[in-house]
């Protein structure tokens, strides 16, 4: 196909700006926790994207840093100098931009149901951890109970969506598989490594993602759980 010189110039500009952004890399700004940071980290690693990370101590630094963020929460992905908020939005952006996304709108939308179902539960995880940190054991326990009650519903919904090829509603791996595996890893920490025994397809998906070289390498070197999110005795 023949392009006019104007179109060629525009295409070149787009290519150069993409290259500049890619080379500048991304910056992840998050607390020194796994939680909502981990799906973003896993995706950056699976996509082999250069990135740096600012880890903010949840107890000592966060109160001083909160106002630095447009929505006063993290994770934030800094893209070309701009803050991007919301875990699902960040993951979807990375997946779509770097070709790790289902192209069909309905498929992609149904995959995202799983992400949001995890986020519903993570509200209770967060509330349990905060209640414990504030010394309210009763509230901590009642939130932990909600987690145990609701997680199997999500696992069952993943199980029936895993394709023959092993990915959620897709013959190929997408960003949702990577993010879901990162959350499954967190829930295995919380509720025990036998969590997926009754969900063989989900377990296989988890093992496929954790077996990817960049994730296997990360699991070897990542920082230990911060004491704020240590589940010991809570669930």
Ligand X SMILES: N[C@@H](CCC(=O)N[C@@H](CS)C(=O)NCC(=O)O)C(=O)O
Give the residues lining the site for ligand X (CB under 6 A): 35-36, 66, 73-75, 86-87, 119
Contact 157, 117 (CB under 8 A): yes
| Of residues 31 and 162, the one with the C-beta less far from ligand X | 31
Residue number, nearest CB to ligand X: 73
Partner residues linked to 76 by β-bridges: 29, 85
Which stretches within the chain are classed as H helix? 5-24, 37-46, 62-65, 87-97, 105-133, 137-159, 175-191, 200-210, 213-221
Using CA atoms, how far apart are residues 113 and 119, in angstroms rounded to an integer?
10
| Of residues 86 and 136, the one with the C-beta less far from ligand X | 86
For the bound state, the minimum distance from the C-beta of residue 153 to ligand X, rounded and expressed in Å, comes to 20
For the bound state, the minimum distance from the C-beta of residue 147 to ligand X, rounded and expressed in Å, comes to 15
Partner residues linked to 51 by β-bridges: 26
| Of residues 83 and 208, the one with the C-beta less far from ligand X | 83
| Of residues 91 and 168, the one with the C-beta less far from ligand X | 91
For the bound state, the minimum distance from the C-beta of residue 163 to ligand X, rounded and expressed in Å, comes to 26
DSSP symbol at 197: T
For the bound state, the minimum distance from the C-beta of residue 146 to ligand X, rounded and expressed in Å, comes to 17
């Amino acid at each position: 196909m023949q392009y006019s010189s104007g179109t060629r110039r525009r295409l070149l500009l787009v290519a150069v700006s993409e290259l500049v952004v890619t080379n500048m890399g991304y910056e992840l700004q998050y607390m020194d926790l796994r939680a909502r940071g981990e799906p973003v980290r896993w995706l950056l690693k699976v996509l082999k994207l250069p990135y740096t990370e600012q880890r903010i101590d949840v107890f000592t630094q966060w109160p001083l840093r909160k106002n630095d963020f447009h929505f006063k929460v993290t994770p934030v992905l800094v893209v070309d100098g701009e803050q991007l908020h919301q875990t699902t939005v960040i993951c979807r952006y990375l997946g779509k931009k770097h070709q790790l996304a289902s192209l069909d709108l309905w498929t992609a939308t149904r995959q995202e149901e799983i992400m949001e179902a995890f986020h519903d539960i993570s509200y209770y995880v967060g509330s349990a951890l905060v209640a414990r940190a504030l010394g309210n054991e009763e509230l901590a326990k009642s939130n932990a109970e909600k987690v145990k009650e609701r997680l199997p519903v999500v696992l069952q919904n993943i199980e029936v969506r895993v394709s023959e090829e092993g990915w959620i509603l897709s013959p190929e791996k997408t960003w949702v598989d990577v993010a879901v595996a990162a959350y499954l890893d967190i829930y295995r920490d919380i509720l025990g490594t036998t969590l997926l025994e009754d969900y063989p397809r989900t377990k296989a998906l988890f093992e496929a993602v954790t077996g990817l070289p960049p994730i296997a390498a990360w699991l070897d070197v990542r920082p230990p759980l911060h004491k704020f999110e240590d589940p010991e005795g809570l669930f």
